[in-house]
Amino acid sequence: MAITNMLTESERETDPCPPWLIEALYETVHRSAIRAPRMAETMGCSVDLLYAYATSPHNASGKHAHLPFYRVEPLIKASMNYTLLDMTEARVGRSAIPIAHQPQFTLAQQASHVLQCGLDLMKMLAQSLGQGQTPVAAGRSMLPFVDALIKELCHFKHELTLREAAEG
């Protein structure tokens, strides 16, 4: 599907920068714990340019600038605000999981831990079903554990990717 098909009619007609993106940029620049001058310094741009990225093209000041893609990652890292990613993910039907720093374990230890988490989850499911819970009720009660397993799998995949890159 073309990107233009994902935009509403009014977004396509008025500006290539859709309102949800301006809102995300505004939230990132104006509502982050890190102040805009510090963000701009970290990104290597002026604070005026940073504010222009977060200004609607229809603003009377006329100080709108389109955020180039190469500045997205530095903006997110400088602001420590994930609104831009969160809103983009919501628009495309995805969700990211933050990867927290974990103590050093071998890949075998991490794989064993992930496997044990999965086995524990299956045991819980079997126990719930054995107690007469419906599959939906059993699944609902297990969602926090499913989320934890997904997070563990993501940590494992991240660590594996880092180690492959280091060997590469």
Confidence of residue 25 (pLDDT cuts 50, 70, 90): very high
pLDDT tens for each residue of 38-96 = 999 999 999 999 999 988 777 767 788 888 889 999 999 899 888 999 888 888 888 77
CA atoms of 42 and 7, how far apart (whole Å): 32
Mean per-residue pLDDT, 113-142: 89
Residue 24 contacts residue 88 (beta carbons within 8 Å): yes
End-to-end CA distance of the chain: 34
- 140 is written with which tokens? 């609902």
Q: What percent of the chain has pLDDT over 70?
A: 88
Mean per-residue pLDDT, 104-124: 88
If you average pLDDT over every residue of the chain, what do you get? 83
Residue 101 contacts residue 51 (beta carbons within 8 Å): no
Mean per-residue pLDDT, 130-140: 87
pLDDT of residue 14: 52
DSSP 8-class letter at 70? G
pLDDT of residue 36: 94
Question: Nearest CA to 51 among 69, 71, 65?
Answer: 65
pLDDT of residue 27: 92
- 21 is written with which tokens? 């993106």
Confidence of residue 5 (pLDDT cuts 50, 70, 90): very low
Domain boundaries, the chain: 3-92, 107-167
pLDDT of residue 100: 67
pLDDT of residue 10: 52
Contacts of 89 (CB under 8 A, 6+ apart): 95, 96
